[in-house]
Every structure is written in structure tokens, then in C-alpha cells.
């Protein structure tokens, strides 16, 4: 495997080859898939990605509020591939025996369904937060309720392949990360894991598109509220904070912002180096750490959310400010793709023994 040197980073560096023991299975087989919560934005993105996946076949899609409605009527972009597929109410009997079930549900609602499905389907891939935190005692503080099935938490691998791939291989339960922890953790992990930055007082400032708030109508996400506005929210109390602490094994000060765009997250992260580090060396640390990762794109220039639109790519850079001594690590993702449904498909590919990149693209949409 070729190593990149800092001299070759004059344009985008993409690690295009990734191997894993999960890629040895028959890649021609059809994998039966169910989606619970398919009428929301993450569920719809799952439908889109599954339609372009050579192995995944959606056989049932639920949407309680849209039951009996055609998918194509709610999302015309899917009309060509889903024909007359209709949303159904959830019924466990529709899912038992499937190869994979994706849960695109609001936080707190996956737990009873997981209790019904775990061990009765090939793999449960939860896009919500119900099985992300390994410490069950954190759920009352950050999510407002005791966990209903804490005995299953340890059965779920944390679904960020770039950092936890070995845990995902062959797993029967996967907790897909939040979109903010994906964007905030990946640019910092190379430095934290190698002891190159202090682990207390890390700062993550991140801005998300409105789709991160879900499809349901909310006063603060209506067009007139969001257009021409930019605001921080959930200051010091956002639910993704303990998730970042867990992933990085660090203490993170996280401030999310709502940006007037449909999709995308830009995370700007700050940490204090523990030794001498300049911008060239910092970028090299990032390149070396992710050199085998198929969805990581590293460049000297600042990442752009628009460049990741519709892709499973993570665009990153790193610099060190000589004046203050701070490391600045930045990442851009599509919050609905790599930050949710694309990450879920990536994890399902690994768990089911398919090539990890199957059905996923590194190419964004421009203009």
C-alpha cells in the first residue's frame, strides 16, 4: 500500500482501496431488507440508496403516519424505482427472517422494536440513538427516559467503520452514529488516538442543514424561520455530546448550529496539541491515519458541504495556528448520507459480508 507524503497533497487525496475480511462472500446474492420508519428523511435516503444497491432488495417499508400511501406520491424522486410500493403500519411478522432491517425512527422508539427483532433477523441497523451510548445510565439525563432494554446495548456495535470496523464485522446489531458525532469525531480521531492533543476541552462547532431536524413540521425549521438565518441551539445540552465523548474518549464542548441549507454538516474542531505540530505535520497525521479508507477525502483546502451532497464521502483538512497553538480540524459531510443512511448501508455491507463500498459513492453533486 502506497503511503502519501505531504508533497503529493496538491489536490484531493482519496484512499480508494479498502480491504476487509468482510468482502469474501458471494456478492451476487439478493439480500432482503425492511425499513421501519421509511417515510422520514433518513428512511427515504435509505430507499434511494437501496434502489442503487446491487444486492439490497426492499421488501417492506413502514410509515405509520403515511400508511397505505404510495412512496412515489410522498417522494416523487423515487417513482421510477418503487412504482406502487406503499407504506405499511409496523407489524413484526413482516420483518422476521429478513437479512437486514433498518430502523429510521425518532430517538426512544427503537427499543421495543429491537427487543422484538434482535436475533430474528440477520442484522438490525438502528439509525437512532437508542443503542449508541454504552453507559445506560446516561439515557435519562440526555434522552429523558430510562433505557427499556439495557441488556441489549452491548450487543450493538458502534457503526463508524473508520474507527470501529472490527466490531461491525459479523455483528447482529449496529448503532449508526449521529450525524454530528460522525462529522466531529472523524477529523479529531487521528490526533486523539495518537496522543497528539489534549483530551480535555476539545471544542466542536458544527452547522447542519435543516433536514437534520427531520421531516415533521416544526416552528423553527419552517422556511420563514430558517431562510436568511444562522443560529446556535441546544447550547451545552445537545444529546450528541456524550456520544462524542464516548467515541473520542475525551471531554468535548459541542455547539450545534442550524444553517439555511437542506443538507450537509460542517464541523470545525479545535484542540490543544501536546507537542510541536505544524500544519504540514497535522495534515500528514490525518492522511496516514486514513490512507486505506475509501470514503475519506483529505485536502489542504477547506471542505465544502456542497461537495459531499448525496455522497458517502467525508471531506477533511487540518491546520495548526502558530499564533495560538491550536489545532483546527474540519470535516464536511452530507448529514443524510454519510451522517445517517449511507453510513448505515456501509455498516450493513460490512456486517453482511459484502464489499464495504457497494452501492455507495464518493462523488457529490455540483452545482
Beta strand spans in the chain (E): 13-14, 31-36, 56-61, 100-103, 123-126, 157-158, 173-175, 200-208, 231-232, 251-258, 265-271, 296-298, 314-320, 327-333
Same domain flag for 172 and 246: no
What's this model's pTM, rounded to 2 decimal places?
Answer: 0.91
Kindly state whether residue 357 falls inside one of the protein's structural domains: no
Q: Residue by residue, what is the 3-state secondary structure of 149-179?
A: CHHHHHHCEECCHHHHHHHHCCCCEEECCCH
Same domain membership, residue 343 and residue 305? no
Give me 216's grid cell: 415533521
DSSP E strands, 209-352:
231-232, 251-258, 265-271, 296-298, 314-320, 327-333
Assess if residue 364 is contained within a domain: no
Together in a domain, 164 and 185: no
Can you give 272-286 as a three-state secondary structure string?
Answer: CECCCCCHHHHHHHH
Domain-located, residue 151: yes
274 is a domain residue: yes
Q: What percent of the chain is helix, strand and coil (3-state, nearest 5)?
A: 35, 20, 45
Distances (CA, A) of 262 to 210, 223, 335: 5, 11, 10
- The distance of Cα 114 from the centroid of its chain, to the nearest Å, equals 20
In angstroms, the CA 20 to CA 37 distance is 30
Same domain, 112 and 254: no
- Whether 187 and 256 share a structural domain: yes
Domain of 204, CATH number, reads 3.30.360.10
Cell of 164: 470501529
Q: Is residue 359 part of a domain?
A: no
Residue reference for cell 427472517: 97
Which residue do the cell numbers 468482502 mark? Answer: 23
pLDDT reported for residue 26: 53
CATH of the domain at 48: 3.40.50.720
Q: How many domains does the chain have?
A: 2
204 and 169 housed in the same domain = no
Tens digit of pLDDT at every position of the chain (367 positions): 333 444 444 334 444 334 344 344 457 899 999 999 999 999 999 999 999 999 999 999 999 989 999 999 999 999 999 988 999 999 999 999 999 999 999 999 999 999 999 999 999 999 999 999 999 999 999 999 999 999 999 999 999 999 999 999 999 999 999 999 999 999 999 999 999 999 999 999 999 999 887 777 787 788 888 888 889 999 999 999 999 999 999 999 999 999 999 999 999 999 999 999 999 999 999 999 999 999 999 999 999 999 999 999 999 999 999 999 999 999 999 999 999 999 999 999 999 999 999 999 999 999 8
| Residues 1, 52: Cα–Cα separation, whole Å | 30
DSSP annotation of 223 reads H
pLDDT at residue 20 in the model: 41
The answer to whether the beta carbons of residues 347 and 176 sit under 8 Å apart is: yes
CA angle 363, 243, 337 (to 5 degrees): 20
Could you list the residue range(s) of the whole structural domain that residue 276 is in? 6-15+180-335
Check residue 21 and give its pLDDT: 43
Residues 26 and 165 in one domain: yes
Q: Could you tell me if residue 168 is inside a domain?
A: yes
**Whether 308 and 205 share a structural domain:** yes
Residues with catalytic function: 179
Q: Do 257 and 347 reside in the same domain of the chain?
A: no
Residues 50 and 195 in one domain: no
In the numeric block, which cell numbers belong to residue 120? 430474528
Nearest to 103 by CA among 208, 33, 161: 33
Residues 172 and 29 grouped into a single domain: yes
Please check whether residue 361 lies inside any domain of the structure.
no
Of residues 293, 67, 82, 301, the one with CA closest to residue 186: 293
Residue 198 has which C-alpha cell? 489534549
Amino acid at each position: 500500500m502506497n503511503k502519501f507524503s505531504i508533497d503529493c497533497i496538491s489536490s484531493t487525496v482519496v484512499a480508494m482501496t479498502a480491504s476487509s475480511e468482510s468482502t469474501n462472500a458471494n456478492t451476487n446474492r439478493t439480500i432482503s431488507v425492511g425499513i421501519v420508519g421509511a417515510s422520514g428523511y433518513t428512511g427515504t435516503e435509505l430507499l434511494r440508496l437501496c434502489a442503487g444497491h446491487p444486492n439490497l432488495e426492499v421488501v417492506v417499508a413502514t410509515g405509520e403516519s403515511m400508511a397505505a400511501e404510495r412512496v412515489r406520491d410522498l417522494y416523487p424522486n423515487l417513482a421510477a424505482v418503487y412504482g406502487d410500493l406503499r407504506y405499511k403500519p409496523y407489524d413484526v411478522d413482516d420483518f422476521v427472517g429478513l437479512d437486514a432491517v433498518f430502523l429510521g425512527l425518532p430517538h426512544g422508539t427503537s427499543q421495543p422494536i429491537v427487543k422484538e427483532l434482535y436475533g430474528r433477523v440477520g442484522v438490525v441497523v438502528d439509525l437512532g440513538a437508542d443503542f449508541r451510548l454504552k453507559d445506560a445510565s446516561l439515557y435519562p439525563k440526555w434522552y429523558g427516559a430510562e433505557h427499556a432494554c439495557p441488556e441489549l446495548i452491548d450487543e450493538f456495535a458502534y457503526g463508524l467503520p473508520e474507527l470501529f470496523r472490527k466490531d461491525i464485522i459479523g455483528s447482529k446489531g449496529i448503532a449508526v452514529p449521529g450525524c454530528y458525532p460522525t462529522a466531529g469525531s472523524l477529523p479529531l480521531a487521528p490526533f486523539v488516538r495518537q496522543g497528539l492533543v489534549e483530551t480535555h476541552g476539545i471544542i466542536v462547532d458544527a452547522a447542519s442543514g435543516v433536514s437534520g431536524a427531520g421531516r415533521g413540521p416544526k416552528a423553527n425549521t419552517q422556511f420563514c424561520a430558517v431562510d436568511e438565518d444562522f443560529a446556535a441551539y441546544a447550547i451545552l445540552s445537545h444529546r450528541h455530546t456524550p456520544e462524542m465523548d464516548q467515541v473520542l474518549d475525551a471531554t468535548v464542548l459541542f455547539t450545534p448550529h442550524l444553517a439555511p441549507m437542506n443538507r450537509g454538516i460542517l464541523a470545525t474542531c479545535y484542540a490543544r496539541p501536546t507537542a510541536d505540530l505544524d500544519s504540514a505535520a497535522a495534515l500528514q497525521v490525518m492522511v496516514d491515519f486514513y490512507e486505506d479508507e475509501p470514503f475519506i477525502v483529505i485536502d489542504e483546502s477547506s471542505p465544502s458541504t456542497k461537495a459531499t451532497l448525496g455522497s458517502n464521502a467525508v471531506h477533511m483538512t487540518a491546520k495548526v495556528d502558530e499564533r495560538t497553538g491550536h489545532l483546527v480540524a474540519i470535516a464536511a459531510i452530507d448529514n443524510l448520507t454519510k451522517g445517517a443512511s449511507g453510513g448505515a448501508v456501509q455498516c450493513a455491507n460490512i456486517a453482511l459480508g459484502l464489499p464495504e463500498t457497494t452501492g455507495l459513492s464518493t462523488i457529490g453533486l455540483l452545482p
